């Protein structure tokens, strides 16, 4: 479990846990709002398949208290940079501070790994809530793009 002590706005502890035999169905069912599907996968299931099929990504279940409320994954690029991806908070759980707590928790955990690697992520420039969230946590565009997405790195 990754627990940095962050709470959401309802006072629930937000923790990141391995996907296992007990929680994978709940993670697979995590779904964004319909209008957010242009930016992300329609279900957490898609990201679970990505991390199962790739050697790069590892999925984590996002918990608020003991409830699965989202999916996030992390990976390591060839250049040693550590990445956050597959950030998805269930539509019914958005705007409660879970996304902020999740990114803070995972970015701190990745950035503390050996060698203090740079922590990066990417987002579509039209995804204004994501852009606002990441910018407020110190992620700034590097100028590079990944397909249509801006690559951003957290200032150390
Ligand atoms: C983006 C997302 C992860 C944010 O998660 P969340 O739990 O709803 O966010 P939080 O409640 O922690 O809010 C964090 C910040 O996000 C931004 N934000 C969230 N919803 C927003 C909205 N509707 N409009 C503008 N900004 C918004 C704000 O900057 C907010 O800051 P605050 O804490 O000062 O209010 C969530 O909306 C989501 O899962 N969206 C669909 C998937 C997606 O776009 N993922 C990112 C792909 S790069």
Pocket of ligand 1 (CB under 6 A): 32, 36, 39-40, 87-89, 94-100, 123, 127-130, 132-133, 136
Domain limits for position 59: 14-115
The pLDDT of residue 16: 98
Using the predicted structure, report yes or no on whether residue 156 has a pLDDT greater than 90: no
CA of 130 relative to ligand 1 center, distance in Å: 5
* Domain contains 7: no
Q: What is the pLDDT of residue 155?
A: 85
* C-alpha 117 to ligand 1 mean position (Å): 25
What per-residue string of b and e applies to 53-91 under the rule 16 or more CB within 10 Å gives b?
eeeebbbbbbbbeeebbbbbbbbbeeeebbbbbbbbbbe
Q: pLDDT (tens digit, 9 = 90+) per residue, 92-126? A: 999 999 999 999 999 999 999 999 999 999 999 99
Structural domain contains residue 44: yes
The number of domains in the chain is 1
User: The domain spanning residue 41 has which CATH number?
Assistant: 3.40.630.30
Instruction: Dig out the tokens for 47 from the structure.
Output: 């990201």
User: How far apart are the CA of 133 and the centre of ligand 1, in A?
Assistant: 6
pTM for this entry: 0.96
In the block, tokens 């391995």 appear at 18
């Amino acid at each position: 479990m990754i627990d940095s002590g962050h709470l959401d706005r309802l006072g629930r502890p937000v923790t990141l846990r391995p996907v296992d035999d007990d929680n994978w169905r709940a993670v697979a069912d995590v779904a964004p709002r319909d209008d957010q599907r242009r930016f992300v996968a329609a279900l957490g299931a898609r990201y679970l398949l990505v991390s199962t099929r790739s050697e790069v990504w590892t999925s984590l279940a996002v918990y608020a208290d003991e409830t699965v409320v989202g999916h996030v994954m992390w990976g390591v690029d060839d250049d040693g940079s550590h990445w956050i991806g597959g950030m998805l908070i269930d539509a019914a759980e958005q705007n409660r501070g879970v996304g902020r707590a999740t990114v803070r928790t995972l970015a701190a955990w990745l950035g503390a790994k050996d060698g203090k690697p740079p922590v990066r992520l990417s987002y579509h420039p039209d995804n204004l809530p994501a852009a606002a969230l990441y910018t407020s946590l110190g992620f700034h565009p590097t100028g590079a793009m990944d397909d249509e997405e801006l690559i951003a790195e957290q200032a150390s």
